[in-house]
Structure 1
Amino acid sequence: MNNRKKWSRNLLNCGLSGSLLLSLGAAGAQTAPARSLAGEWTVVGPDEVVGGAAAGRAPSLTLDGRSALGGTAGCNRLSGRYAARGTVLLTSGLAVTRMACDPQTMQVESELLSRLNRVTRFALDGELLTLKGSQGDLLLRRTGPALNLGSPLTPAPQEESMTPPMTPINGSAPAPASPQAAAGSWQVRSLTVGGQPVPLRPGAAFDLSFTGPALELSGSLGCNRLRAAGQVQSAGVKGRTEQTEWLLTGVTSTRMACDPELTAAETRLTGLLRGALSAELSGDRLTLRSVNGELVLERAAGEAASVWAPSYQGTALRLKGQDVTLSQAATFRFEPQADGSLRLSGSAGCNRLFGTGQPEGNGWSFAALGGTLMACADMSAEESVTALLGDSFKLFREGETLALRSARGELQLTPTAAADPQPAEATRPSGRYTLAELRRGAEVLDLGTFNRPVTLTFGQDPQGQATLGGSDGCNTFGGSYEWVGGQLAFPQPLAGTMMFCPSLETMPSLPATLQASPETVLDGETLILRQGGVEWVFRRG
């Protein structure tokens, strides 16, 4: 089972509400009293879970006999809730601390959490407890005395973090879905009613629209078209966040004859949609839950591309357990591609960074970032960012905030403040610009050091692609560029001649500055580029 499937399925259980868990009271004969599960248990099988555990760090669970669980996943402490009736056992709200351990231990932890998050039944045989689920079984042996049921479990300790330390193990903290964020077209990913998955056909999709507090959901599972109208209303305050619920009424449907499987799916969906629903948004995934089950939707590809901001800036970096202050801005741009991948480009004050991520679960998985190889006076910010993202990492979108996460830490990104909108042609440079002033820090550099004038020429090729050519005072260069949110971006490296001039050893490199996504200011006839403590001032003409 690959990681993509593991993490995407985690969404199905992480948010199970207490009302759903407690509704199991009538399920089946109570062959093993739930309170007999109370105590400490060590995971002893299967090998996929315990085979890679470090000596003395075998995963363990502690159940309080009521509804709380705790323990260790091999590296991190975990906590959550469970409900057991008869032979049924479900977990919810599983959360872990966020320490980084060696890769083998982290793999053991990932496998354990994946299985624990999909447990549906249990069997107790003396001192052996088997937890059964769709991701595989877990075998545990009692290693401590039964708990005194009057003593509550101690929750997992909270670690310092720039995000809440107890994080849902699907990697992206769900948030209540606002109407603005939930509006649009959605593809159906799964439907679960009464704890059982409902078979679906490819192409099932729904549209959501909002007018003030009024909402409308319409779409199809593949046969009849369903429509439901309702209201968004307050459901109180949880922590500091106001909770809302969607109250749907008047669910209607066309009456075409469908095959029995589709008819059954439509009937179950109609039942789920009647009444109050909670709506949680995590990245491009929207989960609608009621006491009967849940409907998981994923934003349609075209809709997903439209919700990216033109650029993002790093606001908080945590590396190897320590908060890091960035001496220079870390800015990134993200471009969805037709094949579902996501192209990243950006800079942390010196070199241009780039990479391509592939969809995985509710985010994107990236291999190591690539980058240019320019040396700058201050590279501390870049060194911190590349230490975080130097190997593999993942990107998660949580509303308007992005999180780049690896085993070494996390970088949070927020949309860069947009400039006042102006007509596109008024904000795009055109024609020829000549360097008038060059500064490195407080020092004004002598332009006579260059062999020839330093220039930039903006134009278009016959296909309408924006082009940029010029001279760096020694060599000529050129390529295509993009004008995104008033900033220069280069999807491909610039090409150029390779002559040697003395200025190459003493003066800043203009092509390297351009490739590093510099801060760009266009003020009338003046174009200013700032990057790595160097400021280039060009005049048009």
Structure 2
Amino acid sequence: MSAGYNGRMIRGPLKFMALGALLLGAANAQPTGEWRLTSITDAGRLISVNAQVAPTLRFDATRVSGLAGCNTYTASYAARADLLTFARVITTKKACPDQVLSLEERYLNVLRGVRRYELRGRTLVLHAGNDRMEFVQGGRVSDVTQTATRYAGAWELAGVNVAGRALNVQGDRPVTLTVEGARLSGNAPCNTYSATFGVVNGAIQVGPVASTRRLCTTDAGNQLETAFLGALRAARAFELRGEQLVVVARDGTTLTFRRASGSGAVTGASLEGGWTLRTVDDRAPQGPRAITLNFEGPQVGGNDGCNAFGGTYRVSGSTLRAAGPLPQTLMACPEPADFPSLTALLRAGATFSVNADVLTLTGQGHTWVFSR
């Protein structure tokens, strides 16, 4: 009896010790793979990070590496329990836009001071005294410019389908969606909202959706708002179907939009295709890259001689104008002396004419001549 009792006493502590070891191991799981910065608290100031320039952090066996915003970096690290430190942080020294460089400096300064970490599912939190950085699992948002330009502009909700059931979308005001670069915004049935938008590892990702907190006055309005914002938060695909934009959520809910009144992108058939700049005011452009324009359906894109850009456009009579923002890549480039900006011309609007294989744009006191 005594031996059996002692056996149970031995097995009991061993069982709890084993359980404790399992729990400790789970709590102290070390981060692996690639992570993308979503926010940083530096000197008590919370800074949300634009997905297009977000620093990344990749863990290998004994080293980390990633993009600091503009430059790449590498460092050694040591992790034990919930403790984590980085050492010998080395970066490249590219010239970067001021805004990106400011974020990069903050990121690297906090990284050097990190002393502990937390893993919360797909979220990694690094602590450096009172400063902290939050990451989401996955690589840097990529192709956001090219993807967002497909859907750029203002849209109005035309239909919502939840589990095969269509909801009534008629209310006191139109429900809208505006896509501008890496951001979404608009009117929900009762509130206004905004969110980040991008492409992570080839998949559409809508970031946290923030909204005002007004109460809907009807049950139908409340039901529509819940379905609408829920579908945006869980979006897995944006699809252009003819003249409509369809947002597909992970549970199969669909939001169908049509172009908002007055924002439709009207194309000029004679503009279709690619064009290369020959002269501006009879001067040939000087630069490392050709200045180009490309028109495809409602989309306009090209290169300003340094950075690629893209967006939508419309034609009214003989005037061509960008229909929304023209997101650009962020390469640091020397500004050509006294040379006008192509994207500024498109935003302001230009008179155009096409004669065979020659496109002429006139605006802001300059004449631009392109050829196919």
What's the TM-score bracket when you normalise by the shorter of the two chains?
0.3 to 0.5
Give the structure-2-normalised TM-score. 0.32
Q: Which structure exhibits the higher relative contact order, with contacts defined as CA atoms closer than 8 Å and separated by 6 or more residues?
A: 2
